[in-house]
Amino acid sequence: DAGVIQSPRHEVTEMGQEVTLRCKPISGHDYLFWYRQTMMRGLELLIYFNNNVPIDDSGMPEDRFSAKMPNASFSTLKIQPSEPRDSAVYFCASSSTGIPSTYGYTFGSGTRLTVV
């Protein structure tokens, strides 16, 4: 299994531009999570999906952020327009039904976003 795959690994963009981060979860996993990591705020859960349906998006910072999961093997996190304070490492993680509370998640390697 290739694990959770995120792309790109690094993204540098100018303020005001649209940014799209991508995630491919582990095949067969039906939970997908998006996290943001910064020095100041640590790890923050932004949103998570179950069977491609958003379950809890209370962590999404504002309307500039949106996430979709059109099918079981792909999810995107979009920021439009981007701002310098969005600079962070964004992680995607996946898990299976009944598993999260027992086995935890499998994380991707993250996307390091820099907005200048």
Partner 1 sequence: GNSVTQMEGPVTLSEEAFLTINCTYTATGYPSLFWYVQYPGEGLQLLLKATKADDKGSNKGFEATYRKETTSFHLEKGSVQVSDSAVYFCALSVRNNQGGKLIFGQGTELSVKP
Instruction: Tell me which residues touch partner 1 (CB under 8 A).
Output: 4, 31, 33, 42-43, 45, 48, 50, 55-56, 91, 93, 95, 97, 100-110
Least distance to partner 1, CB of residue 34, Å: 12
Query: Which one, 49 or 65, has the nearer CB to partner 1?
Result: 49
What gap in Å lies between CA 73 and CA 104, rounded to an integer? 19
81 prior amide bond cis, ω within 30: yes
Query: Which one, 7 or 81, has the nearer CB to partner 1?
Result: 7
The residue assigned the tokens 């991707």 is 108
The tokens describing 1, both together, are 């299994």
Query: Which one, 16 or 61, has the nearer CB to partner 1?
Result: 61
Least distance to partner 1, CB of residue 92, Å: 9
Q: What phi and psi values does residue 8 have, to the nearest 5 degrees?
A: -75, 170
